[in-house]
Amino acid sequence: MPLIAFTSPKGGVGKTTLVAQVAAVLARRGHAVLAIDVDPQNALRLHLGRPMREETGFMADLPRRQPWRQALRQTESGVELLAHGIADHRRALELGAALLAQPELLLGPLREMLADPQQVVLVDTAPGASAALSALGPLADLLVVVLLADAASGSLVPQVAAGRQLGRGTLAARMADRSVVVLNQVDMASPLSGAVMDMAVAALGDRLIGAVCRDERVAEALGDKRLLVDEPPGFGGAAEDIPLVADAIAAAARLPPPGRRHSGRAALLDWGFR
Answer yes or no: are the C-beta atoms of 118 and 259 closer than 8 Å.
yes
| Helix/strand/coil for 5 | strand
Mean pLDDT value across the chain: 88
Say which residue, 260 or 262, is predicted with more confidence. 260
The contacts of residue 89 (CB under 8 Å, 6+ apart) are: none
State in words which class domain 3-270 has: alpha beta
Is there a cis peptide before residue 2, judged by omega within 30 degrees of 0? yes
- The answer on pLDDT for 4 being more than 60 is yes
pLDDT value of position 259 = 64
Helices (H), 170-265: 170-177, 191-204, 216-223, 238-252
Average pLDDT over residues 97-124: 94
Structure confidence by residue, pLDDT tens digits, 23-35: 999 999 999 999 9
The secondary structure element, H or E, covering residue 19 is helix 15-28
Alpha-carbon distance of 100 to 243, in angstroms, equals 35
For the chain, the structural domain boundaries read 3-270
Q: What is the pLDDT of residues 131-161, one digit of tens each?
A: 999 899 889 999 999 999 999 998 999 888 8
Query: pLDDT value at position 236?
Result: 86
